[in-house]
Amino acid sequence: MAHHREPTVFTVSGHGEFPFDMLRFDECYPVNADSVNALGMSTHDVRARDSKRTVRLLSHRLLAPTVGRWESFGWKVLTEEELEALADARFKSVPAVPEHAA
């Protein structure tokens, strides 16, 4: 009988060319349109391709993401703590809306 396993969602962060072979290697795919856009598929937009970005990925693979292999391409698998810190930093960078504007 096959074992049912919940999918693993993880986040990678890096800049430059996205290592597309890692999608095959870790048997994963972007979780949403924002993550697809963050792949930076268009090499014509140098600024977007070379800026640091994060990509949320989902895998049904039984093994954890291959952290060392991601790092060999210059990309990092973020820990939960790093992901929370990134979310906090993004939240703090959003300007507050004045009360009279709401």
45 in a structural domain: yes
CA distance 39 to 28: 13
101 in a structural domain: no
Buried b (16+ CB within 10 A) or exposed e, 26-42: bbbebbeeebeebbbee
**pLDDT given at position 63:** 86
pLDDT in tens, 78-93: 999 998 888 777 766 6
The domain tally of the chain equals: 1
Instruction: Give the whole-number percent of the chain exceeding pLDDT 70.
Output: 74
1 in a structural domain: no
pLDDT in tens, 27-40: 999 999 999 988 87
24 in a structural domain: yes
**pLDDT given at position 97:** 55
53 in a structural domain: yes
Instruction: Note down the domain range covering 28.
Output: 8-93
pTM for this prediction: 0.76
2 in a structural domain: no
49 in a structural domain: yes
